[in-house]
Chains A and B, each alone.
Chain A
Amino acid sequence: MADGQSRPDAAQASPSSPARVEGTPARVETSPPRVQGPRDRLARAALDAALRVEGVAGLAPTPGLSSLGPLFAGVDVVAQGRDRYDLTLHLAAHLVPLLPLADAVREAVATASRRDGLAGELGRVDVRFEAVEAQR
């Protein structure tokens, strides 16, 4: 996909750096970026939920792997058809047992998707721990 325009969700996902059109005045964004498609909303909800889980130190984006651009670095979203999406979260964690942490992340993502009315869109949630950090 050479241009970003054939993927509407991706275009909407990067409102913080909108394409400038000749002759239009620059405007100042005063509201948070809007994300509208189910794919974007799911990715955003999953990231927010994952980062709130105790034991998660942050995102560990793998360059070139994110399918949604810089706004969603750290999550890959793969459409599985019928408006269902599989997620892969790339995380850094503290030095805690990682398998229970992955389950907690999945649970948090499922809860967030239900809260946002996206339960039907949520498919598998894969969790990849890319790094660990010692707590200070």
Chain B
Amino acid sequence: MAESTATTPQTTGQSNSPARRTGGEGSPSLQSEKGLTSIADAVVSKVAGIAAREVAGVHALGGGVGRALGAMTQRVGIGGDSGVSVEVGERETAVDLVVVVEYGESIPRVAEGIRDNVTRRIEGITGLDVTEVNIAVNDLWFPGDDAQDDDESQSRVA
């Protein structure tokens, strides 16, 4: 199942690509007279990944190849979060997620939960305004999927 379903992005900004604008009133200031606070993309990416995984109904992040590659690169310490890409501006950020949803869950409900949690976590931790969270549902996970994969890999080895 390689096709993905992109859910409608919920934006709090007004432009078509809000992450790609800067500024925004009411957001905490990253610049003070004592110095600048800056946040690397990797930080936002990691927070987004953790927040997305916290939502019930999310089985994993990333596509099949992405998950395998991500697991391998993270093992050697060079990998980022598979299935998460972010764009970070001076005060705002946008997040794109690729998720695998558990079969039986309502995809719109899960997507809404992801959007809410990711927004809340990123804004709470980084102080950046989240302008959009785009979610692509890449696959569905069935409870027996992992066992089936194990069986197939074993039979190939024998």
Contact = CB atoms under 8 A, between A and B. Distances in A.
Interface of A: 93, 95-99, 102-103, 106, 110, 124-132, 134
A112 to B, nearest CB: 14
A46 B144 CA distance: 53
B50 A95 contact: yes
A85 to B, nearest CB: 12
Contacts of B32: 103
B122 to A, nearest CB: 10
Contacts of A130: 40, 42-43
Contacts of B34: 103, 106, 110, 124-125
B35 A132 contact: no
Interface size for chain B: under 10, 10 to 19, 20 to 34, or 35 or more residues? 10 to 19
B43 A129 contact: yes
Contact of A99 (B30, B42, B47): B30
Contact of A102 (B37, B42, B43, B47): B37
A95 B43 CA distance: 10
A125 B30 CA distance: 12
Given A124-B35, A126-B35, A96 B42 contact: no
Contacts of B124: 97
A110 B35 CA distance: 12
Contact of B127 (A98, A126, A132): A98
Contact of A126 (B36, B43, B125, B126): B36
Interface of B: 28, 30, 32, 34-40, 42-43, 46-47, 50, 124-127
A99 B40 contact: no
Contacts of B46: 131-132
A131 B38 CA distance: 11
Nearest to B34: A106
B90 to A, nearest CB: 13
B43 A132 contact: yes
A98 B126 contact: yes
Contact of A128 (B28, B40, B126): B40
Contacts of B35: 102, 106, 124-127
Most-contacted residue by chain B among A124, A129, A131 (CB, 10 A): A129
Contacts of B39: 98, 128-129
Contacts of A129: 37-40, 43
Give me the 4 closest cross-chain CB pairs, A-B, nearest first: A102-B37, A99-B127, A125-B35, A124-B35
B37 A134 contact: no
A126 B37 contact: yes
25 contacts: A95-B47, A97-B124, A98-B39, A98-B43, A98-B125, A98-B127, A99-B30, A99-B126, A99-B127, A106-B34, A106-B35, A124-B34, A124-B36, A125-B34, A125-B35, A126-B36, A126-B37, A127-B38, A128-B39, A129-B37, A130-B40, A131-B40, A132-B43, A132-B125, A134-B50
